[in-house]
Structure 1
Amino acid sequence: MVISFVSCSTGNQQSDFSVPYEKYELSNGLTVILNQDRSDPITSLVIVYHVGSNREVPGKTGFAHLFEHMMFQRSENVEEDQFFKYIEGAGGNLNGGTSFDQTVYFEVVPKNALELAMWLESDRMGYMINTVTPRSFALQQNVVQNEKRQYVDNMPYGFTDYVISKNLYPSGHPYNWDVIGEMEDIENATIDDVKEFHRKFYVPNNATLVVSGDFKKSKVKPLIEKYFGEIPAGNEVNDPEPANITLNEIKKLYHEDSFANAPQLNMVFPTCENFTRDSYSLNVLAQLLGQGKKSPLYKVLVREKQLTSGVTINNQSLELTGSLRINITANPDISLADVEKGIFEAFSKFESDGFDDNDLERIKAKLETDFYNSISSILYKSFMLGYYNEMAGSPDYLTRELETIRGITTEDVWDVYNRYIKGKNYVATSFVPRGQLNLVAEGSADAAIIEEDITQATQMEITDTSV
C-alpha cells in the first residue's frame, strides 16, 4: 500500500489556498483520497470511474450512460430500487452522471451514515453485474429511449449537439456520437454486451474513491478496506490517447426545428485536449471575446446590430480533444447569415482593438473565482479531487490549474487565437423555426435529421417478470 500525505498548495504569495488530502492505493488498484473538512457534520463519498462515452466503439454506443442507469437498480445484497431508499432514509442524497470521459457516483450523508454509503457503493462496484436480468435491462433501455425523446427529440435545439458531433469529428472518432448514444445501438444491446463493458471498465483499478467531510481517518480506513478491499482487480485499463482533429473545410448545416421560437446559430472551432497550456489560454480567449459588455461579440451583435440579447461562448477541452463554441440565439426573424457576418466583424474588432492588461487580469480573476466556486462544498471538492486524479494523474492538478490560469499572458491569448480561430475552418449549425428557412446561414446544407414519429415509437419488450 502506497500512502502519501499532501497539501495541495499554490506556493504563490497571492494566495494561501490549499486542499489537504491523503492519497493511497488498495492492493486491488483502487485509489483512495481522504480530505477532512469538519466545517459541517456531513460527509461525501464520490467514485470516479475513468470511463465515458469515449471508451465506446461504433455500433455499441451509449453503453456508459446505459450502465449508469443499471447501477441504480440492484446488486447482490441490495434489492431493486433500494439505493435511493437507503440513502434518503438516512437523511442524505445520491446521484450519478456520465460524460464523454468519466462516470461519477456520489452520496452526501450525515457523518454517521458514511459506512452505509460505502457498503452500497462497494456492492454495486463488485457485486452488481450478476443481478442484471432481461427484465431490468429492458426497463433501462426504455428509460434511456424516453430520456432521449424528452431532452433531445422534443426540446428546442435538442439535436444541435448531435449535428455538431457528426460533422466536427470524423466517423469512428470517440466524440462522433452523443453521450446518450445511438438509439439503434441501445435497442440492439445485449446483457452480454453490458457485462463485458462492466468487466472491462467498472473495476477498482480504473476508479478513484474520494471521501471528504467530517470523519476520522482511523475509523474510515478500515471501513474502506473492509468494503472495497475484497473486490478483485480487473485487467489493466490504459488511458486513451489525445485525438485532436482538423477540418478540411467549413461545414454549415441547417435544421427546421418544430420546437424553436427563434433562430439559433452555433459556430464551433476544433481546439485541443485538456490540461494543456493552450486549453487554459483558450478559456481566457473565450471570455475576452464574449464575456461582458466590453467584449467585441457583445458590442457588435447586441449593442450595435441588435441581432440578439446575449452571447454564449466557451472552450471545452476534453480528454481527447476540444472545441471552442459560439452560441447565439438571435432575435425573432433575424437572419443567421447576418449573425455569422457579425461574428466575423467582432473578430476583426478584436484584432484591431485588442485588449489591455486590465482586461486580461479581470478575466483571469473571474476564472479564478469560478475555480473556487467549483470546490465550494465537500461534494464539489470531492468531484474535483477525483476528476484530477483520474484525468490528470494527480489531485495536485487542483492547484496547478490555478497557477496556470494566473500565468496566462497576452502572448498566449494571441497565439491560440491565431492558431485555432483566425481564418480556420469551423462547423456552423442553423436551427430555425419550422417554415423559416430564409433565416439559415448562407451556404448551409440540410442536416438530414431523422426525427422519430412519436405515434410509431417503440419500447423494448419486457418478457421476464422475475425481480
Structure 2
Amino acid sequence: MAHPAHSTTDGTAAIDGTGIIEHTLANGLRVVLSEDHLTPVAAVCLWYDVGSRHEVKGRTGLAHLFEHLMFQGSASVPGNGHFELVQGAGGSLNGTTSFERTNYFETMPTHQVELALWLEADRMGSLLSALDLSGLDNQRAVVKNERRQRYDNVPYGTAFERLVAMAFPDGHPYHHTPIGSMADLDAATLADAQDFFRTYYAPNNAVLSVVGDIDPEQTLLWIEKYFGSIPSHDGKRPPRDGSTVVRDGVAPLRQHLVEEVPSQALMAAYLLPLDGTREADAADLALTILGSGESSRLYNRLVRRDRTAVTAGFGLLRLAGAPSLGWLDAKTSGEAEITTVEAAVDEELARFAAEGPTPEELERAQAQIEREWLDRLDTVNGRADELCRYAVLFGDPKLVDGALAKVLDVTAEEVRAVAARYLTPDNRAVLTYEPAQPTDADADADDADSDAADSDAADSEDVNR
C-alpha cells in the first residue's frame, strides 16, 4: 500500500508521488483516495467512529441496531431502496458494527461510484427525516432474531459474550458485546435512536475512503457536491483512553455452565496489548504459533498427541481502546476431562513462555500473517477498509503502508516475552461447558416422542401403501 499524502495547510487535496490523496472537507469529513486501475471496479467505504464502547448502560446494542436502521431508508431513498439501487447497478454492499466502529461499504462498477457516494451522503444527511417508530420496530425485530439465531439458540453461542463480560468488569466500556441484550433492545426508544444519530453520525466523526478504478479529481468533486453541505455535529463522545486497568477485584473470572452442548469445552480470554503497538504484533505471532491451524502447538498437543480434544485454537480480537483479547477455544474428545485439557494448555503456554518460538515457527507465522495481509490488500474493498481503520483508530491512514513490515520485524525474543507476560493463568477469564445430562422426565418424554414418531411413521406407511 502506498503512502497517503499529507493534507495541505489551506485545506486543498494533497497528493504525493504514489498517487494517494488525503483531503478534509470544511465540515470535518476526512477523505482518502487510492487509484487502482487493474479492474473496472471501486470500493466506497465509510467508517463512523462509534461502536458498542460508546453505548450507555441500559441501551446496549444501540450501535448495531442503528447499523440496521441505516438500511431502512432515508429522505430520498425510502424503504429497501439502498440495497435495490446498489444491487441493480451491479454492486454489492453491507455494514458491520464492532466495539470501536461502525462501517458501511459498497463495491461498484467504475461508472456507478457516484451513485454509491450519493447514497451514503443521503443517509448521513437525511436519515433522521425518514426514521420513525415503525422502522425502528422493524429493525429491532431483525436484530433480536439475529441474536436468537447466532447467540442464544446455538451451542456455545454466548461464550464470547460471557468471556468479554468477565474480562471487562461492569461499568467498563467494553463490558458488553455489540449484539446487546434483549431487554436493552426492547427498551430502546425512537428518541434514543435519534439522539444516537445526532451524536455520532456526522461528517466530522467519519472517514470516507474510495479505492479502485477512479478519477481522483472527479471523485473529490462528487464528494464535495454530496457531502459538503452536511453540517458537522458537536456531540460529546467518550475518549478512547487505552486504559489497561480492567480488573476491579470483584468481577468473576471463572464460570462453569451446564448446557445442551455437544461436548465439554474450555474457553478463555487473555488480556493482551493494545492494537497498534509492537507488543500487539508480537502477541499476534504468539497466538498464530500456539493456536492457528492444524500445525499449531496446541492442536498438535491436544488433538494429535494427547487426543483429549477434537479442536483447539486461539483467536485474536485487536482493540485500540482497551486490552486486546486472545480467545482460547478447546472442545474435549470422548471421556477427556476439562481439568486435563486445561493443565495441558497451561503446560504448553508455560513452555512457550520459557523457550519462545523456534526459527521455523516464527518464519511460518510471519509468512501466514503476510499472506493474509496481502490477500486483504489485494482487493479494493480490503484496502479501502484498512485505510479507514488506520485513519479512525490511529489518526493516520498512511500507517497501513508499514504495518506488515512491523510484523516481519518482530523478533523471537519479543514473541517469547509477550507470551511470558500475558499468556498466564492470572491474566485470563475462563469459561467451561459441561453437557447437560437428561433427567428422568426428559427420558420419559423422549420415549413418548419416540412412540409417537413410530406411530406416525406406521400411519404414513399405511397411507402410502
Task: State the TM-score, normalizing by the size of structure 1.
Answer: 0.86
Distance in structure 2 (CA, Å) of the matches to 1:168 and 1:31: 34
CA RMSD of aligned residues (A): 2.0
Partner of residue 240, structure 1: 240
Amino acid at match of 2:219: V
How much does 1:188 deviate? 1.0
- The 3 A distance-change label for structure 1 pair 235 and 27 is same
Amino acid at match of 1:319: A
Q: Does 1:27 align with 2:32?
A: no
Distance in structure 2 (CA, Å) of the matches to 1:153 and 1:6: 50
Q: Does 1:349 align with 2:348?
A: no
Partner of residue 464, structure 1: none
How much does 1:272 deviate? 2.3
Secondary structure of the 2:245 match is: coil
How much does 1:411 deviate? 2.1
Number of aligned positions between the proteins:
425
Partner of residue 222, structure 2: 223
Partner of residue 319, structure 2: 318
Distance in structure 2 (CA, Å) of the matches to 1:425 and 1:388: 28
Corresponding residue to 2:407 among 390, 405, 408: 405
Once the two structures are superposed, the pairs formed by residues 348-387 of structure 1 within 5 Å of their partners are 348-351=350-353, 354-387=356-389
Partner of residue 102, structure 2: 103
Distance in structure 2 (CA, Å) of the matches to 1:435 and 1:338: 21
- The 3 A distance-change label for structure 1 pair 330 and 221 is same
Distance in structure 2 (CA, Å) of the matches to 1:140 and 1:422: 42
How much does 1:396 deviate? 1.4
Q: Does 1:272 align with 2:273?
A: yes
- The 3 A distance-change label for structure 1 pair 246 and 107 is closer
CA deviation vs aligned residue, 1:307-326 (integer Å, no higher than 9, x gap): 12332213322022212221
Q: Does 1:76 align with 2:75?
A: yes
Partner of residue 133, structure 1: 132
Amino acid at match of 1:145: K
- The 3 A distance-change label for structure 1 pair 5 and 295 is same
Amino acid at match of 1:52: G
- The 3 A distance-change label for structure 1 pair 291 and 189 is closer
Q: Does 1:165 align with 2:175?
A: no
| Larger CA deviation: 179-188 vs 323-332 | 323-332
Partner of residue 46, structure 2: 47
Distance in structure 2 (CA, Å) of the matches to 1:115 and 1:291: 41
CA deviation vs aligned residue, 1:220-240 (integer Å, no higher than 9, x gap): 121111100010011166542
How much does 1:6 deviate? 4.0
- The 3 A distance-change label for structure 1 pair 425 and 395 is closer
CA deviation vs aligned residue, 1:203-228 (integer Å, no higher than 9, x gap): 00111111111121232121111100
CA deviation vs aligned residue, 1:282-313 (integer Å, no higher than 9, x gap): 00111222245554322321222101233221
Secondary structure of the 2:377 match is: coil
Q: Which has the larger radius of gyration?
A: 2
Partner of residue 463, structure 1: none
CA contact (8 A) 2:172 2:246 kept: no
Q: Does 1:4 align with 2:14?
A: yes
Partner of residue 453, structure 2: none
Amino acid at match of 2:13: I
Q: Does 1:435 align with 2:441?
A: no
Distance in structure 1 (CA, Å) of the matches to 2:203 and 2:137: 27
Secondary structure of the 2:397 match is: coil
Partner of residue 391, structure 2: 389
- The 3 A distance-change label for structure 1 pair 294 and 224 is closer
Partner of residue 465, structure 1: none
Partner of residue 428, structure 2: 426
How much does 1:423 deviate? 4.7
Instruction: List alignment gaps of at least 5 residues for structure 2.
Output: 1-10, 440-465
Partner of residue 448, structure 1: none
- The 3 A distance-change label for structure 1 pair 354 and 244 is closer
Secondary structure of the 1:374 match is: helix
| Larger CA deviation: 227-236 vs 19-28 | 19-28
Secondary structure of the 2:175 match is: coil
CA deviation vs aligned residue, 1:103-157 (integer Å, no higher than 9, x gap): 1111111111111111111000010012111111111111111111111111111
CA deviation vs aligned residue, 1:366-403 (integer Å, no higher than 9, x gap): 11111111212111111111111111111112122112
Q: Does 1:304 align with 2:305?
A: yes
CA deviation vs aligned residue, 1:48-80 (integer Å, no higher than 9, x gap): 111110111111211110100110011111111
Secondary structure of the 2:96 match is: strand
- The 3 A distance-change label for structure 1 pair 372 and 436 is farther
Distance in structure 2 (CA, Å) of the matches to 1:111 and 1:297: 46
Partner of residue 152, structure 2: 153
Amino acid at match of 1:366: Q
Percentage of identical aligned residues: 31
How much does 1:246 deviate? 4.9
CA contact (8 A) 2:308 2:332 kept: yes
Distance in structure 2 (CA, Å) of the matches to 1:50 and 1:410: 35
Q: Does 1:284 align with 2:285?
A: yes
Partner of residue 415, structure 1: 417
How much does 1:34 deviate? 0.9
Corresponding residue to 1:256 among 255, 258, 262: 258
How much does 1:25 deviate? 0.4
Amino acid at match of 1:316: L
CA contact (8 A) 2:316 2:327 kept: yes
Partner of residue 450, structure 1: none
Distance in structure 2 (CA, Å) of the matches to 1:301 and 1:344: 12
| Larger CA deviation: 419-428 vs 371-380 | 419-428
Decide which structure has greater helix share: 2
Distance in structure 2 (CA, Å) of the matches to 1:243 and 1:354: 28
How much does 1:425 deviate? 3.4
Distance in structure 2 (CA, Å) of the matches to 1:423 and 1:89: 53
